Structure 1
Amino acid sequence: MNTWTIMIYELRRLFSSRSMILNMFLLPLLLIFLLGASLSGVVGDKGSSTIDVVRVAVVNPSGEGYESSAMMDSFLKSTELKDIIAPIMVESREAAESGLRTGKYGYAVVVPPGFDSKVQSGEAAQLEFILGQKSTDNRVAGTVFDNFLRSLNYKQSVAMTLGPEALNVMAPSSTSDQPTVKLGELSEGGYTYTSSQFYAVSMMLMFLLYSGLTVCTSLFNEKENHTLFRINAMPVKGSELFIGKMLGVGVVSIVQCAAIIILTNVLFGVNWGNRPGLLLLFCLLMIIASMTLSIVISMFSKTGASARSVVTLLTVSMTFISGGMAPLPESWVNSIGAFTINHWAMQAILKMMLHADVSQIMPNLGVLSLICLVLFSAAAISYRKVGYHG
């Protein structure tokens, strides 16, 4: 009974504080809005990409008993290439190289003499490519002509193995209607998270860690106001007082987490994924980790100011190292960032937003549960050794 009475009193005290309401509920929403709007081109979905038409110099010589390649001419006239490459016929390799140096062309293709006859006689289809100044143009044009050669060599192999009649059987199922170059997303199921989603996750986790400041303040208020002696003189066990205070802070943190999730979804359109149960579980584990870490720090700190300083330093450091403040290289986030608490929850929630399979999320759940178990054990041991008294 005493525990619930203390918890209710703690809730009344916390919710009557205007600074607590501002810091725990309004400040996270403001930061999510500002960061999500200002860094929309840096984090998450950067919008649809487009392919610029590449000017390709084509050297298709004739003479010395050879005709220009009809296969190449037919390929360059296909309608699917008009939005990808702009073929320009040039007389010689030297003219193509000169145009590449001046930036007139983005790519060059040299068709060897007798290309068609070599292909028809069973030799491998080969072209000479000369790269331009822009890597993007090289990738786009290279993909187009690599597909052309791959198609020729495949048909040639089929004809040599199964006979020319096999090509007629393959014709109806040809994939020529499909584009030569297609833009796509590498994220699973075509989903990708936006900057608002990214910073909603990172800021929520950061402020859940900041709930440790509330733990420190709650524990040291009674000491600094010299009311802990009077409370201990009452028929109230030290464990009841301690547990009641922690339950009060825990309830406030749960309300804060729920408010951030609901309000960001309603106000900013943040999609938190399709697994609300797992999302809630990760939030609860983060609250437990934050509170137990703050308990350990408070038990061994002499003043509330020193305890709050340590909690603030750890929160800011872990948020930055885990990549929650600014995009960091994946090698950094997955190596050094793995030693932070936020990392495991943040990566898991982002995967939920991408509608990833549960099997990809469970390792994060296991690691975060282990961290909570270690911190909870450390908090229990430190409380038994130091205790909560004046």
Structure 2
Amino acid sequence: MRTWWITFTYEWIKMSRMHTLLVVLTLLPLLLIYLLGSAFDSVIKPAKVAIYNSDQGAQRASVDAFWQGADVVPYVIPTVFTNEDKVREAVQNGSADYGVVIPADYSDKLAAGEAVSWRTFDGNDGSKNIAANSVIRSYLSQVNMQSAAVKVLGPESLSGLAGSQKEAAARVNVQTLGGGSDQTFGSVSAIQYYSVAYLIMFLQYGGMTGAVALLRQKSAGTLQRLFGIPTSFGAVVAGIISGAAMLGVMQAIIIIVVTKYVYGVDWGGAYWGIALISLLTIIAGSGLALTIASFAATVKTMQTLFNTLLFSMTFLSGGMVAMIQNKLGLISKLNINFWANAALRGLMDGSSRVLVWQNIGILAAIAAVLAILAIIRLPKVVKQHA
């Protein structure tokens, strides 16, 4: 145990000082997740709307109630200001995405049966301008229809205006055509989809570092010298592999924490499941890398074979072309990434626990098979003339 612990600690310290490796294994997946998640994100987020209502007439209360309606809140986050200049300033400095000013004669025009409009100020975000514009147009179109009725039927029809405004708010429906979480990326958002895909991909790279360390130490003669000292050689090898696995654990923690608190990714809250899936992926990646290393003569050959296989698994599981796995059929399921991705996305979208455990079970079986193969082939990796 002492031998394992010393080797594990030494290997962990050595890897933690490899700054280039740490950048590739942590910052690169975070960059890919951000770029792809942002590029393919088709969900319109609520717009922060700066509002100044200068109307003091009979319809002021109904307008204020409109902005707090349950059908409007998903699309706009209203903030009330005390004058028009502050609304303009909020939009210009970016603290608000959109600005609205309700004119002082709004109630008077409605009472007279005239068409009404609000002054609006677009912000820098086009999608949020669309969301806010859609909400306002839907509302004002219904209000102007009622205003026309006032002009034809007389002021007594104005009594039904409040109810008409509530109906207008209820009819608000903003959505993205040709996209959305239930189409392009299944039941999760774009950034959730790519967070899962690249977490799984780079965890396997983390598992590969153990095989690389063993091959390099073998070629340098370090393992041969360790084999000759009076201690457990198996514990030494296990310590080296465990150090690489620990790197994968830290990698998973960093990616999940950053994506959750910086990118706002919803991982579903079942962190016990995420931890289990991550651990199984690291074991599977390590087993695969060690098995390949037992056949490869050099580190470069092993890395080339591993990279080719990992990129193929990532592609087939939909990590490069979203949801392509649904078109490929059985071939897409014959890899580690497919089952790990399916299990994590099941935790994200609240799928049946039975289905999630089924995916985890298949992933565990794959990891066990690869681990057994790695153990059987391990002498070919660590011994000079095995």
Q: Same fold (TM over 0.5)?
A: yes
2:339 corresponding residue in structure 1: 344
Aligned residue among 366, 378, 388 for 2:382: 388
Q: Which amino acid aligns with 1:265?
A: K
Matches within 5 A, 1:34-45: 34-41=35-42, 45=43
In structure 1, distance between residues paired with 2:181 and 2:257: 29
Structure 1 residues without counterparts, runs of 5 or longer = 49-178
Contact 1:273–1:353 (CA<8 Å) still a contact in 2?
yes
Counting matched residue pairs gives: 255
Given the superposition, is the C-alpha separation of residues 331 and 25 from structure 1 closer, same or farther in structure 2, using an over 3 Å criterion? closer
Q: Which deviations, in whole Å up to 9, do the C-alpha atoms of 1:142-179 show, x marking residues without a partner?
A: xxxxxxxxxxxxxxxxxxxxxxxxxxxxxxxxxxxxx9
1:256 corresponding residue in structure 2: 251
1:203 corresponding residue in structure 2: 198
Aligned residue among 312, 317, 338 for 1:317: 312
Q: Which amino acid aligns with 2:221?
A: H
1:268 partner SS: coil
Contact 2:208–2:285 (CA<8 Å) still a contact in 1?
no
1:192 offset after TM fit, Å?
4.3
1:357 corresponding residue in structure 2: 352
1:77 corresponding residue in structure 2: none
1:3 corresponding residue in structure 2: 4
Contact 1:32–1:196 (CA<8 Å) still a contact in 2?
yes
Given the superposition, is the C-alpha separation of residues 32 and 387 from structure 1 closer, same or farther in structure 2, using an over 3 Å criterion? closer
2:221 corresponding residue in structure 1: 226
Larger Rg: 1
In structure 2, distance between residues paired with 1:306 and 1:31: 26
What is the percentage of aligned positions where both structures have the same residue? 29
Matches within 5 A, 1:1-80: 1-41=2-42, 45=43
Q: Which deviations, in whole Å up to 9, do the C-alpha atoms of 1:44-73 show, x marking residues without a partner?
A: x5789xxxxxxxxxxxxxxxxxxxxxxxxx
1:226 offset after TM fit, Å?
2.7
Q: Which amino acid aligns with 1:17?
A: M
Q: Which deviations, in whole Å up to 9, do the C-alpha atoms of 1:272-320 show, x marking residues without a partner?
A: 0131111111111111100011111112211111111111111111000
Given the superposition, is the C-alpha separation of residues 330 and 300 from structure 1 closer, same or farther in structure 2, using an over 3 Å criterion? closer
Contact 1:212–1:311 (CA<8 Å) still a contact in 2?
no
2:153 corresponding residue in structure 1: none
1:329 offset after TM fit, Å?
3.9
1:306 corresponding residue in structure 2: 301
2:126 corresponding residue in structure 1: none
Given the superposition, is the C-alpha separation of residues 4 and 345 from structure 1 closer, same or farther in structure 2, using an over 3 Å criterion? same
In structure 2, distance between residues paired with 1:336 and 1:11: 37
In structure 1, distance between residues paired with 2:325 and 2:213: 38
1:233 offset after TM fit, Å?
2.5
Contact 2:325–2:332 (CA<8 Å) still a contact in 1?
no
Contact 2:316–2:324 (CA<8 Å) still a contact in 1?
no
Given the superposition, is the C-alpha separation of residues 378 and 355 from structure 1 closer, same or farther in structure 2, using an over 3 Å criterion? same
1:234 partner SS: coil
Q: TM-score, with normalisation over the residues of structure 1?
A: 0.60
Alignment RMSD? 2.8
In structure 2, distance between residues paired with 1:186 and 1:252: 33
In structure 2, distance between residues paired with 1:347 and 1:279: 12
1:336 partner SS: helix
1:198 offset after TM fit, Å?
0.8
1:213 offset after TM fit, Å?
3.2
In structure 2, distance between residues paired with 1:378 and 1:46: 48
Q: Which amino acid aligns with 1:236?
A: T
1:263 offset after TM fit, Å?
0.9
1:255 offset after TM fit, Å?
0.7
1:37 offset after TM fit, Å?
1.0
Contact 1:265–1:271 (CA<8 Å) still a contact in 2?
yes
Which 10-residue stretch deviates more, 10-19 or 231-240?
231-240
In structure 1, distance between residues paired with 2:372 and 2:315: 27
In structure 2, distance between residues paired with 1:322 and 1:277: 23
Contact 2:3–2:235 (CA<8 Å) still a contact in 1?
yes
Q: Which amino acid aligns with 2:38?
A: A
Q: TM-score, with normalisation over the residues of structure 2?
A: 0.61
In structure 2, distance between residues paired with 1:215 and 1:242: 9
Structure 2 residues without counterparts, runs of 5 or longer = 47-169
